[in-house]
Structure 1
């Protein structure tokens, strides 16, 4: 599975931990940065990860900023993206199963790195449970 990951300056450390974890566990990673603590604009990274996912260069995406909110809003501007901010493993599982989320958003100021890893793995392990959820997700995609 190929994962696109992007972050602003507040998410560098968390991103590096996640990239190492993913690569150690056999995932292919497209790391679009940033790799510096110099201030950058989170929308640029949210847009780019979203574009990689909708263009099928990546299977799923992960975006990180201070709270996860701004970068998730940016990713959701890309048609076809369903980015979800997750601070708990249960939410990460359910957004994949019920909402077919294709981008996970994380807040670097709100989560310890080890907890972020648990959330990432839960997100990646879960699958969309189409059934009754398919028509709801279709409404989101077709709006």
Structure 2
């Protein structure tokens, strides 16, 4: 898959701490995905990361986006918030292996990164690994995913 062909609709969101990196990411990936949906924030005024986790999750759960990207200061807050939402499987990944492995084995649909933790060049590589990966529904992966779905239903 070339840099010009990441056939996904991507919802991106983040709070004030993630805003600078989110701006760089949206510019970098806007022409590389089918559609990039900017869920805010749109400036560096103080804001609350759970609001953006909800916005990105709603885009995925409604079928408007295929994957999501959330950026806050550390990546922790958006990850915690996103994982409270049914249908969302989010993880912090600050390396490319975890970013693609999370999709391939765990059907991760939201990548969380810390805007104050990593620089833009590494973030671009991690996001590309996440967007390029596809879930591989081997028996063990599907079995584990069903257990996660069951936890959501409890």
Q: Secondary structure at the match of 2:18?
A: helix
By how many angstroms is 1:71 displaced? 0.7
The correspondence for 2:26, drawn from 19, 27, 34, is: 19
Which stretches in structure 2 are left out of the alignment for 5+ residues?
1-7
- 2:150 aligns to what? 142
The correspondence for 2:39, drawn from 28, 32, 39, is: 32
The correspondence for 1:95, drawn from 91, 102, 114, is: 102
- 2:82 aligns to what? 75
Structure number with the higher helix fraction is: 1
Q: Secondary structure at the match of 2:128?
A: helix
When the two structures are superposed, what TM-score results if normalisation uses the length of structure 1? Answer: 0.96
Q: Secondary structure at the match of 2:70?
A: strand
Q: Distance in 2 between matches of 1:21 and 1:109?
A: 18
Which stretches in structure 1 are left out of the alignment for 5+ residues?
none
